[in-house]
């Protein structure tokens, strides 16, 4: 068992990482939240049939009611309509202010369940049980919860730190290869912005079997980086924005293809490469950095290019949460492991975007 502590005063919590953890999570939640007579388990239609029974039985064995709320899997469910149904389910289950919600799933589930917990009855306790690599290394930690609007991603949200995060690395073994690799885009991101040694280590893994064997170490390293950033800048007004490397262009790619063609991690990988090619050309980034990122993404079968017009990027970026007035903060690399925040006037943004329709999908 590995543990990462997130030190946020009275909102502090532990991230537990290990094999075979899921059957014990119910007892752990009861010990952590003894006043919670009901813990509503929120999951999706893919994860629920695999793991919900184990979690619910563990809660019930600890004397806790565990109503199960399931929504259709996929980014397209991450909206206000699904959120409304979760509220109705929590109300029907008799959840009270002393009870809690647990998110069992990937990033979409964590966001949906977290925003429901942040707002139902003006806020109840929340626990994360991530089942994907992407959720384990990134979205389950730090307290950002949100849903999408038709005009953009994560535009309605809140900050709600979980009471705990429990990561059973055995659950990664049932991920389809595409979604195991999807999470690797966020892992590679940590190497790009903070940790050149991690970036190099990822290049030495030669198979998915080696990746899964190293999962505990990889997750711990990524979570430790994120914990330190969140402790310094919980509300994302400064340094925490570095965690958005690749996301500004990546969110535009997701939206342009209606969240159907590229997963979140795939889009972020594309965003990292496209932006870095431009910042190299502008003299902000060490030459060859984009090619190094692209090569590592290709190692994990992730795309690095896309055919998309500048106007498609600009329409989505105009709604980016990092925009302040007529300027946007981009995350730029000096080199692998060395990143900085770069404020750009919106009128100057085309210089940081790929030329129109230059790239074909890989």
The residue from 163, 225, 226, 255 that is catalytic is: 226
Q: Is 264 a catalytic residue?
A: yes
Q: Are 143 and 161 in contact (CB under 8 A)?
A: yes
Q: Is 244 a catalytic residue?
A: yes
Give the CA distances from residue 116 to residues 51, 73, 92, 297, 333, in Å, rounded to whole numbers and listed in that order.
21, 17, 14, 34, 35
The residue from 46, 153, 221, 240 that is catalytic is: 240
Q: What is the CA radius of gyration of the chain?
A: 20
Q: Is 247 a catalytic residue?
A: yes
The residue from 181, 255, 264, 321 that is catalytic is: 264
CA distance 142 to 256: 27
Q: Is 173 a catalytic residue?
A: no
Q: Is 14 a catalytic residue?
A: no
The residue from 16, 75, 234, 236 that is catalytic is: 236
CA distance 250 to 162: 26
Q: Are 154 and 319 in contact (CB under 8 A)?
A: no
CA distance 135 to 219: 10
The residue from 46, 144, 277, 321 that is catalytic is: 144
Q: Is 251 a catalytic residue?
A: yes
CA distance 254 to 317: 12
Q: Is 154 a catalytic residue?
A: no
Assigned token pair, 140: 């389950």
- Which string of b and e fits 254-267 if b means at least 16 CB within 10 Å? bbbeebeebbbbbb
CA within 13 Å, CB half, 317? 27
Q: Is 10 a catalytic residue?
A: no
CA distance 32 to 29: 5
Q: Is 216 a catalytic residue?
A: no
CA distance 255 to 29: 36
CA distance 180 to 265: 10
Assigned token pair, 227: 């914990």
CA distance 296 to 359: 19
The residue from 16, 186, 234, 266 that is catalytic is: 186
Q: Are 143 and 234 in contact (CB under 8 A)?
A: yes
Q: Is 323 a catalytic residue?
A: no
Catalytic positions are 122, 144, 186, 226, 236, 240, 244, 247, 251, 264
């Amino acid at each position: 068992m590995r543990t990462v502590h997130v030190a946020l005063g009275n909102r502090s919590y532990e991230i537990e990482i290990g094999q075979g953890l899921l059957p014990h999570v119910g007892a752990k939640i009861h010990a952590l939240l003894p006043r919670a007579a009901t813990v509503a388990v929120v999951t999706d239609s893919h994860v629920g049939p695999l793991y919900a029974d184990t979690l619910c039985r563990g809660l019930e064995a600890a004397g806790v009611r565990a109503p199960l709320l399931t929504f259709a899997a996929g980014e397209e469910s991450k909206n206000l309509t699904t959120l409304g149904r979760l509220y109705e389910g929590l109300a029907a289950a008799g959840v009270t202010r002393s009870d809690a919600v647990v998110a069992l799933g990937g990033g979409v589930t964590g966001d949906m369940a977290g925003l429901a917990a942040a707002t139902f009855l003006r806020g109840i306790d929340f626990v994360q049980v991530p089942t994907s690599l992407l959720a384990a290394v990134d979205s389950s930690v730090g307290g950002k919860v949100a849903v999408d609007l038709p005009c953009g991603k994560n535009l309605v949200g809140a900050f709600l730190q979980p009471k705990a995060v429990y990561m059973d690395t055995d659950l990664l073994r049932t991920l389809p290869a595409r979604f195991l690799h999807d999470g690797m885009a966020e892992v590679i991101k940590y190497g790009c912005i903070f940790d050149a040694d991690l970036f190099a280590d990822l290049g030495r893994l030669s198979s998915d079997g080696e990746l899964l064997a190293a999962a505990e170490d990889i997750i711990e390293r990524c979570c430790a980086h994120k914990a330190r950033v969140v402790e310094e800048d919980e509300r994302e007004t400064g340094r925490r924005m570095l965690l958005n490397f690749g996301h500004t262009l990546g969110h535009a790619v997701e939206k342009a293809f209606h969240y159907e063609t590229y997963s979140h991690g795939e889009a972020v990988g594309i965003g990292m490469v496209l932006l870095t090619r431009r910042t190299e050309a502008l003299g902000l980034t060490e030459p060859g950095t984009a090619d190094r990122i692209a090569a590592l993404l290709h190692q994990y079968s992730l795309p690095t290019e896309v055919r998309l017009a500048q106007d498609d990027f600009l329409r989505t970026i105009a709604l980016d949460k990092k925009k302040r007035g007529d300027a946007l903060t981009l995350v730029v690399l000096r080199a692998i492991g060395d990143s900085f925040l770069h404020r750009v006037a919106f009128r100057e943004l085309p210089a940081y975007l790929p030329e129109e329709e230059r790239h074909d999908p890989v």
